[in-house]
Structure 1
Amino acid sequence: VVCTIQALLHYIYMAQFPLQSELTLHKMAALLDTIHQNKQVFIKNGSCSDMDHLRIPKLYSLPCSIENAHFNGVSTNFTTKTAEYLHISMCKDLYNATNHHQYDIQMLHLLDMHKKIHFHSAYVSW
């Protein structure tokens, strides 16, 4: 448990470095490997009593900071506000527009419809 939490904290602090080198990015990748190899300990020891998995979106978004550093340089904004805003506007609003029966299929149809309307209006305004 301590090893996994320590690796996660080191990763978070390293992701906030003002500059990243190949060495720090490799170290961050190694820390991610440690986290993913040992994360099952939280299920085994009962820390996650209400779930039998650790499929947490924020946990799976950790490798994105390494990829972003490779392609875009260091990010100056490590906040979850964008993801939370998108969750509210793209998931909760769509869910409320469904009849709550097989909502995932309905939400996908609504997203597809919104995309088609957006492309059509962009074409018409062009």
Structure 2
Amino acid sequence: MPKYTVGSTMRRLFRVSAAPRLFTVSLAFTISLPTVAVFPPDSDRLLQEGHLSMAKAVASDAKPDTATANSMPPARDPKLAVEEEYQMARRLNTVQSLELFIARHPDDPLAARARADLRSLSR
């Protein structure tokens, strides 16, 4: 009794020779290899979307806690941010920009200056 393998049985059933299948597999590999070389997968995106289950490597002399602490930028000074927003509203010099600043920062001391600018602009 001859010994059959899955591949030989499939070839017998569907009358497919091994040569075209081998050619198809090698052709697919040949096409996919340059594609991966030209468009490599973005590992950061894959990590964020949960496709990969590995973590980023940390330098051997760095502690894991310091690696994440150094990657986070320091917080901005909120007063400086409000001042920059007020200066932008003044540069635009429109009713809408000043009203938006007043609506976003009604209790800030610069809101009083923005209200005065708004009154002088409305005249």
Tell whether the structures are fold-level matches, with TM greater than 0.5: no
TM-score (norm 1): 0.25
Which structure ranks higher in relative contact order (CA pairs < 8 Å, sequence separation ≥ 6)?
1
**Larger Rg over CA atoms:** 2
